[in-house]
Structure 1
Amino acid sequence: MKDIFSYNSDVNKTAYMNWRTSHHDHIYNMIVIADGFMNSAIMLVEAALIDNSDKKADSLIYPIIFNANHAIELYLKATVWTLNILLDNQQKIEGQHDIQQILQTVIKRVKEFETDKEKRKQFENMINGTKLYVDELFEKIATQNGKRKKDNMDFSRYPFDQKYMPHFYITEFDNVVVDLENFVQRFKEIGENLRLISTYYLFDILEAGE
């Protein structure tokens, strides 16, 4: 049996895992991988929109949401790390998988770094779509007493948490649905803006000033 990690005779039928990445730039590599997760989420939805007569979206939605959330996590962590360097903060990546917490850290770091009101306003406009989605998401995965558990971010990977309690879409009586057309529109905007933010601070500010 042929190895998975092997060449195809056609270069266009071979995926190169280290063509886009850099040997020494950890932050840029996170952005590269974030691009892959975000693009794959959008492409899966677009494929389902072409023909969903077999209801493939009902099972694809789990990796779709996982990929989108992981992309957000990586973009935000790349931005935090860059801003920490710019602010002479010794921390690198902050937060685990709680994208709401990481987003709040990004917003805080930008406010610390940016003194120009127009740049702050521009950032707020660009991050707003992400914030709206993350707030909506955490309303879904929050526990009844309002406290969040870190394993709740696994809702798209497992049907239950670490204590084997079902996630929100399992216990909900009414249908839990995702508008696929809206998903593509929203996440294209979210992905584009997060990439612009992360690459701006990395290339236009940090590396340009070295």
Structure 2
Amino acid sequence: MTKIFLNGSSSKPVNAYAFLNWYFEDQKNANSILQNKQVDSFQFFIMGNSYIASSLYLLKNILDKYNKYNVADHLIFPIFFNLTHGLECWLKASISSITYLYNDIEEFKFTHALKELTSDLKKLLERYNILYIFDDLSSFALIDSLVDELDQYNVRFDFARYSSYRNNSQFYCGNNNVCVDLYELFQFIITLVYSFRLSLSYLILCIDSAVQPNQEDFILFCEDKANYKDNEDDEDAFENFIFKDVTGFY
């Protein structure tokens, strides 16, 4: 009988465990729409960070080992699932953050479609005149380019989860192979972290500090961030990047 889930003491070292709950202690309140938006902001942000980090971990391992045994042909699907689901979480965190910060009780349809979520977020940024947080929408260019490439092959948002949908094969089941440039994908996610996630993390900081966004504060916040450089002589560079800039809170 398995004992994967534990509740109590054990003789194993503390680093042998992953805790499922301590980042998500705040729960929904049936009587408070705004409080629920605050909870959604933090939880979607944390979960999005985790999914994006897992994509980067898989890609880095594959690239460092020169795609040994062509393992990328299998792992590309969880890599893409984690990327698209992480993006979905980040977009939902952004929407929840802005509506909470401006006491906006409008209920948005939380779809899985990145294009619809991006459109809703853009409307909010324009409504509250805070386009500067996402570089006057230039940060969305990365997401738009990903969505455009998927649309080019007429694929559903869940292509990385299901090989077919309602008896229709996804694009990779056809006669023509579609290849993914692993290096380009890795750099794409890195750039996403230092653009979209950076903007979102500022919104999370505003919630945590109980203040509304301010352009001068945002500029100072961004100046404090340094880009990750892949340095073969520094074995800890990537680990520090994941901990500080991806799964980190700001």
Mapped partners of 1:39, 1:198: distance in 2: 16
Mapped partners of 1:20, 1:186: distance in 2: 27
Which residue is 2:52 aligned to? 38
The code of the aligned residue for 2:58 comes to L
Mapped partners of 1:89, 1:66: distance in 2: 31
Which residue is 1:146 aligned to? none
Aligned 8 A contact 1:76 1:194 in 2: no
- The Cα of 1:49 is off from its aligned counterpart by 1.2
Aligned 8 A contact 1:80 1:106 in 2: yes
TM-score calculated relative to the size of structure 2: 0.70
SS in 2 for 1:54: helix
Structure 1 residues 93, 121: closer, same or farther in 2, change over 3 A?
closer
Structure 1 residues 207, 8: closer, same or farther in 2, change over 3 A?
farther
Which residue is 1:98 aligned to? 113
Aligned 8 A contact 2:81 2:161 in 1: yes
Which residue is 1:12 aligned to? 15
Which residue is 1:27 aligned to? 41
Question: How do 1:116-127 and structure 2 match up within 5 A?
Answer: 119=132, 122-127=135-140
Mapped partners of 1:50, 1:184: distance in 2: 12
Structure 1 residues 94, 84: closer, same or farther in 2, change over 3 A?
farther
Gaps of at least 5 residues in structure 1 are: 143-151
- The Cα of 1:82 is off from its aligned counterpart by 1.7
Gaps of at least 5 residues in structure 2 are: 28-38, 213-250
Instruction: Give the alignment partner of residue 160 of structure 1, picking from 144, 164, 187.
Output: 164
- The alignment status of 1:129 with 2:142, answered yes or no, reads yes
Which residue is 2:84 aligned to? 69
Which residue is 1:189 aligned to? 191
- The Cα of 1:43 is off from its aligned counterpart by 0.7
- The Cα of 1:50 is off from its aligned counterpart by 2.2
SS in 1 for 2:121: helix
Please give the per-residue CA displacement for 1:149-194, whole angstroms capped at 9, x wherever unaligned.
xxx2221111101x111011112x3321111111111011113433
Aligned 8 A contact 1:22 1:29 in 2: no
- The Cα of 1:206 is off from its aligned counterpart by 7.5
Percentage of identical aligned residues: 25
Which residue is 2:205 aligned to? 203
Mapped partners of 1:59, 1:77: distance in 2: 29
Which residue is 1:175 aligned to? 177
SS in 2 for 1:201: helix
- The alignment status of 1:110 with 2:125, answered yes or no, reads yes
Which structure carries more helix by proportion?
1
Structure 1 residues 41, 110: closer, same or farther in 2, change over 3 A?
same
Which residue is 1:3 aligned to? 3
- The Cα of 1:110 is off from its aligned counterpart by 0.8
Query: Which structure would you say has the larger RCO, counting Cα contacts within 8 Å and 6 or more residues apart?
Result: 1
Structure 1 residues 61, 121: closer, same or farther in 2, change over 3 A?
closer
The code of the aligned residue for 2:13 comes to D
The code of the aligned residue for 1:129 comes to L
SS in 2 for 1:141: coil
Mapped partners of 1:176, 1:42: distance in 2: 21
The code of the aligned residue for 2:63 comes to L
